[in-house]
Amino acid sequence: MRQHRPSLGGSQGQSKRKLAPQLEVDSDTKEPLPLRPTKRQRTENDCPSLYEVCCFPQTRPWKDVYKERFMIGLNWNHGRFRTRMFEGHTDSIMCLQFDAAILATGSYDATIKLWDLETGKLRRSLVGSKDKTIKIWNFDDKESFTLRGHKDDVNSVQLDLHSRTLLSASDDFTLRLWDLTTRQCIKTFEGHCGQVQQVSFLPPHLETALSRSDAEMISDPAICTGTSTPSARSALAGDFLANPDRVLPPQYAVSAGLDNTLRLWDIFSGKCVRVFFGHTDGVWALAADILRIVSGAGDAQVKVWDLTKTECTRTIPGHREPVTCVSLSDAMFCTGSDDGQARLFDFRPEAKF
């Protein structure tokens, strides 16, 4: 069995003295005219963070926004994208994440590399370590603790801050839901016939659409029971039942396993409600948003799936070796592979590489 790597856990510019602008004078009245607004030069430190871009977007004409979103949607549907490669790791890339400016990749070579998305250049390389436990760090009070319960290596975790829960995927063929308040495992999910490599909560916006079509979309009734979901708080019990005001975790999650499948889970019932078939080798990676799932597998292929129809809408080749990690945004996604490469697939109409 292959070893698994751990997940991804300024200089100040010199001040410049500026001369006061000269006032312009009206030739007739000899009165000073108002100053023309000067265009402020944007510096590297002025670049907006991903939080600022998402939460405090600049006002744009609605026609421009609509046109851009329409073009991005067309590019997704017709497979039009531009690709950038990031090379530097000496072994397989097993995890990655990106925001508006930086791509972070983690590899079997025990390093984490930070890349500039615009230039493709390596900005920093960090040395990591190997550990088989789930560790939680709270940087506010500098507290840390360990979650134990899996019977084999833990390959993936995802945190939901609002509900203070965590999902984990393991080589013991199971997923586990953890309550970070009580530090206990509150639910175990069984159904995969191979090691579970990746897990992800799905956005809450999908709950209505998925609930309506569960009965129609169950791929294997013997595995996906489709039984009615009990009361969410009763199902999770413990602190969720004792504190009715506590935020619940998202209702759905999706996982990827070495049994060549992706599986959709109802968090409250603990049941598998859909199975996605299509990869011809073990599925190592996935990422999901409100429109799609993107998966990577040992067959060196990347597949894009329709969440509500359990259908593969596009297969994207490119890597020479198994695709081991995927990260996704609305207009692009990034993949990492055993070939040591990371690839960025950009669906924005203005993307230029």
Residue with the larger pLDDT of the pair 49 and 171 = 171
**What b/e sequence results for 221-243 when a residue is b if at least 16 CB atoms lie within 10 Å of its CB, and e otherwise?**
eebbbbeebeebbebbeeebeee
Radius of gyration for the alpha carbons in the chain, expressed in angstroms and rounded? 24
Cβ–Cβ < 8 Å for 151, 162: no
Residue 288 has pLDDT above 50, yes or no: yes
Least trusted range by pLDDT, from 255-269, 272-286, 337-351: 337-351
- Of the candidates 334, 335, 332, which has an alpha carbon nearest to the alpha carbon of residue 346? 332
Q: How confident is the model at residue 172 (pLDDT cuts 50, 70, 90)?
A: very high
Which pLDDT belongs to residue 190? 96
Separation CA 226–CA 337 (nearest Å): 35
Which pLDDT belongs to residue 32? 52
* Tens digit of each residue's pLDDT (9 = 90 or more) over 198-208: 999 998 766 65
Residue 140 has pLDDT above 70, yes or no: yes
Which pLDDT belongs to residue 214? 54
Identify the top-confidence range among 24-28, 64-68, 164-168, 348-352.
Answer: 164-168
Q: What average pLDDT score do residues 87-114 get?
A: 82
Q: What average pLDDT score do residues 129-149 get?
A: 75
Kindly state the tokens that stand for 348: 């924005």
Pick left, alpha or beta for residue 221 (phi over 0 → left; psi -120 to 50 → alpha; otherwise beta). alpha
For the domain spanning 66-346, the CATH number is 2.130.10.10
Q: What average pLDDT score do residues 288-305 get?
A: 92
Cβ–Cβ < 8 Å for 147, 137: no
Q: How confident is the model at residue 219 (pLDDT cuts 50, 70, 90)?
A: very low
Mean pLDDT, the chain, whole residue set: 77
Domains of the chain by residue range? 66-346
